[in-house]
Chains A and B, each alone.
Chain A
Amino acid sequence: MIKEKAVKKTIKRHGLSILFVHWTVAISTFILIFSGFGQMPLYKRYMLDRLPGLSWVTNFSVTLSIHYWAAAVLILAITYHIVFHGIRRDFDMLPRKGDMKQSAQIIMAVFGFGKEPENDKYLAEQRLAYVFIGGSLLIMVFTGIIKVLKNLPHINFSEGFIYWITQMHNLGTFLVIIGIVVHLGAFIFKENWPMLPGIFTGKIDLEYAKRRHSIWYNRVSGKKG
């Protein structure tokens, strides 16, 4: 687990499954947002198709097909995520009692007020962000599946039902975008930078883990003995 490096020691924070799910969700979500906005006639109005290489963006058929394929990839990743962690009983990312208070303490500490609480593998604010983004994505998937069914021949939902499903799908898009902005916004703060290598390589700085994720570090290192 602990690996000697030329400059500094690192510790494995994420396995391949987490990296796979994170990047698959991230890339497919980005494609879904782009192709989803392409389902509105905005790209044509704002002449996005006149930019080099983007002539296809105003072709509703192309963007809808891309939307469907990206949705399939997202569904695969989310199913993988739920099943993988479900089998392993690995619920580190789920919010716990007191996470709101701890999140406030962490944010205050970043600005120099008070002391940051001891953290587990994930910060309290990460657990809350996970539920926000995950919940928003589930809204998108549920409403998206109904919208896909609606497009099939011989399936016709009532206008009231499909109207509200569509509004939820559109609203969910903005929730996901807000979630992504907040998620990326966390890296404005230098204190969070050492977490970044973890989502690319799976490893983070050992000293950082000891200092900031002490609960997790003690548990993992104790187990490994």
Chain B
Amino acid sequence: MPVRVQTEDFDVARELAALRGGNRAVGAVAAFIGTVRDVNENAAVAAMSLEHYPGMTEKALAAIVDDAKARWDIIDALVIHRVGTLAPADQIVLVGVTGTHRGEAFAACEFIIDYLKTRAPFWKKEGTAAGARWVDARASDDEAAARWDGTRDPAR
């Protein structure tokens, strides 16, 4: 399943159905959907713009999905990430993982979004009453990604 970076919104049900692809071996589908919050760092967020680094971003997302497939026995995975101007409540990102059982699917899904947040080149800029500001990276995101350091990774 390819990774996609796009300005358009996505239909979660349609994307997950496509990911499953009628495969009768699939026994679990885990999904994460990230959306735009209306408040961040104690300021009301009226709009958000997201930018990426064409070429590198797609490559980084594909590498994260490959990494997940090497670490867990999953069937397939999908990442869709939006860029451009978004409003509160808009969907930003979809991570979908199919597997035989829920344990591996849940873990791989969480791993993919944790790595995406610290390794995939995307940047958020928020529009607030005080003007536009670039969102700062969070130490908690690095800590979340570091949790996976001990998990098996046969590729390395």
**Chain A complexes with chain B:** no
